[in-house]
């Protein structure tokens, strides 16, 4: 009956894009499923001209449970087609987070007709019973039809340490070692284990990393990615690790380490006590990078836009949960060392519609023009303010009836304040002010702000700081104004309407 229900679900909803993606808080250029619960992105992979987005999904409700892999595909990382559930919960085993690879040379033996195939590596979760504890193991499934149907490997699990917490495998091909490498979390030990395999079935333990950095909660969703250093031919490796709870702003959050990977072991460039945060907001978690990207393309990362503190109470329906915009990654050498840079992919610009541009110093004149000419609730705002560090500046966004979200710069910090943003009472952890240290000296303050009805993503100084927060403003709120603390500043503003990717 369970499989029959999934088949009916797929037939009714999986093969055509829904026409009504227009609920009050529904993001218009971020992926969200047509209905029901989603959390972590899974199995991000590029194959045969399509970007695949798998994700933790409950096919039967808008709260966590019955975890399976939902599935969507896109040719530009902006327009998505939702497909039937790829990997359903079966036989009491839920499908937790994992990754997907393209097995170009059929190392696994799963590929038919000498053609590359897709292989998913995921954590199977067996809940506890009075007779036995919970169990998490690593498992395989494969597809020979571009990810449309999947077969679970009859020899599962392929890696079993008989542990209740052992999850979230990220698998990639390590060219220098000529083998597959898996990074997988030991959450309670604050460690990432590395395994190697030549066929994706038999795994040999290679090394471990941790504890290091922040250890205030369980480690989850490790991701190891080779990243280009800007303005050079060099690369370094970035190991990203989720933390829940214990995130910088409370609840779930993510940190990263910069170093080297020799095919077996990750070596941290910095002292083990050093902590770098990938995002300074409350709502970016379990971000993963794409496997099998076309040669010459930068790494692309997508995260789940929510926080375990309140995800189950978010005031949205008939869905709960959405993804961040895809972000391009690079490393930049700053005075303090190499740091991760994140910027929204350029494909977002293809959704641009109406445009507002303004240059000057008269804030009252700017705000009058904004009131008259900017009516949008999904938009891209780019602003440059000089002098950058001489005073405090703020944007009031999605404003209506005394409610607004503030985003700005003061006392050497970038901040977002959503305490007055609208609907905040569903959790005491939601109405928060988040901030990030940002030393800019005499340089201009450069912000890219993406707003999408209920989402706010800020990228400062070319992606040096990323800050992601959900907001639930009053219906139709689109007011926008700029304020300073009295310091005269030269201001450059461009705002583009971003049209719906669902229409």
How far is it, in rounded angstroms, from Cα 17 to Cα 255? 35
Residue 357 is inside which H or E element, if any?
strand 352-360
Quickly count helices (H) and strands (E) in the chain: 2, 34
Q: Which residues contact 385 (CB under 8 A, 6 or more apart)?
A: 393, 409, 444, 445, 489, 490, 491, 492
Burial string for 367-379 (b: 16+ CB within 10 Å, else e) reads: bebbeeebebbbb
DSSP character at residue 129: B
CA atoms in the 13 A half-sphere facing the CB of 291: 30
Q: What are phi and psi of 187, to 5 degrees?
A: -55, -45
Give the SS3 label for residue 144.
coil
279 noted as active-site residue? no
CB 479 within 8 A of CB 398: yes
Q: Indicate the DSSP class of residue 391.
A: S
Q: Are strands 393-400 and 378-386 parallel, antiparallel or unpaired?
A: unpaired
**Distance between CA atoms of 53 and 439, rounded to whole angstroms?**
36
Asked if 33 and 319 touch (Cβ cutoff 8 Å), the reply is yes
C-beta of residue 86 within 8 angstroms of C-beta of residue 71: yes
Q: Which residue is catalytic, options 40, 103, 168, 452?
A: 40
Q: What would the DSSP string read from start to end of 38-102?
A: EEEEEEEEEETTEEEEEEEEETT-SSS-S-EEEEEEESSSSS-EEEEEEE--BTTBEEEEEEEEE
* C-alpha span between 503 and 430 (Å, rounded): 31
Q: Is 474 exposed, middle or buried (0-12, 13-18, 19+ CB in 10 A)?
A: middle
Which residue numbers are catalytic? Answer: 40
């Amino acid at each position: 009956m369970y499989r029959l229900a999934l088949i009916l679900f797929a037939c009714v909803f999986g093969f055509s894009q829904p026409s009504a993606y227009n609920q009050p808080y529904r993001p218009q250029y971020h992926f969200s499923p047509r209905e029901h619960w989603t959390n972590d992105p899974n199995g991000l992979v590029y194959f045969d001209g399509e970007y695949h987005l798998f994700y933790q999904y409950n096919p039967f409700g808008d709260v966590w449970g019955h975890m399976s892999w939902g599935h969507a595909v896109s040719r530009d990382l902006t327009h998505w087609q939702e497909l039937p559930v790829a990997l359903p919960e079966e036989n009491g085993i839920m499908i937790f987070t994992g990754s997907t690879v393209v097995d170009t040379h059929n190392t696994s033996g799963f590929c038919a007709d000498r053609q590359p195939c897709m292989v998913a590596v995921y954590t199977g979760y067996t809940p506890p019973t009075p007779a036995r504890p919970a169990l998490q193991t690593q498992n395989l499934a494969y597809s020979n039809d571009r990810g449309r149907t999947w077969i679970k490997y009859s020899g599962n699990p392929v890696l079993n340490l008989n542990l209740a917490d052992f999850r979230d495998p990220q698998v990639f091909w390590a060219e220098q070692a000529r083998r597959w490498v898996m990074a997988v979390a030991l959450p309670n030990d604050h460690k990432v284990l590395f395994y190697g395999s030549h066929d994706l079935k038999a795994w040999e333990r290679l090394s471990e990393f941790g504890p290091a950095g922040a250890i205030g909660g369980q480690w989850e969703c490790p991701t190891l990615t080779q990243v280009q250093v800007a303005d050079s031919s060099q690369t370094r490796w970035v190991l990203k690790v989720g933390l829940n709870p214990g995130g910088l702003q409370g609840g779930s959050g993510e940190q990263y380490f910069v170093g080297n990977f020799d095919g077996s072991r990750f070596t941290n460039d910095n002292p083990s006590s050093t902590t770098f945060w990938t995002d300074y907001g409350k709502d970016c978690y379990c971000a993963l990078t794409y496997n099998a990207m076309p040669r010459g393309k930068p790494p692309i990362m997508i995260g789940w836009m929510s926080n375990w503190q309140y995800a189950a109470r978010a005031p949205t329906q008939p869905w709960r949960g959405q993804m961040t915009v895809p972000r391009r990654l690079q490393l930049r050498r700053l005075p303090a060392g190499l740091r991760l840079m994140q910027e929204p992919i350029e494909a977002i610009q293809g959704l641009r519609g109406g445009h507002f541009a303004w240059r000057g110093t008269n804030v009252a004149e700017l705000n009058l023009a904004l009131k008259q000419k900017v009516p949008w609730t999904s938009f891209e705002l780019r602003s440059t303010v000089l002098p950058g560090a001489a005073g405090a500046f703020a944007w009031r966004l999605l404003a209506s009836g005394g409610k607004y979200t503030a985003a700005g710069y003061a006392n050497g910090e970038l901040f977002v304040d959503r305490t007055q943003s609208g609907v905040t009472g569903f959790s005491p952890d939601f109405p928060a002010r988040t901030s990030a240290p940002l030393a800019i000296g005499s340089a201009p303050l450069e912000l890219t702000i993406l707003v999408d009805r209920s989402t706010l993503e800020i990228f400062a100084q070319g992606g040096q700081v990323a800050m992601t927060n959900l907001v639930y403003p009053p219906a139709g709120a689109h007011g926008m104004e700029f304020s300073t603390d009295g310091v005269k500043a030269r201001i450059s503003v461009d705002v583009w309407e971003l049209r719906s990717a669902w229409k």
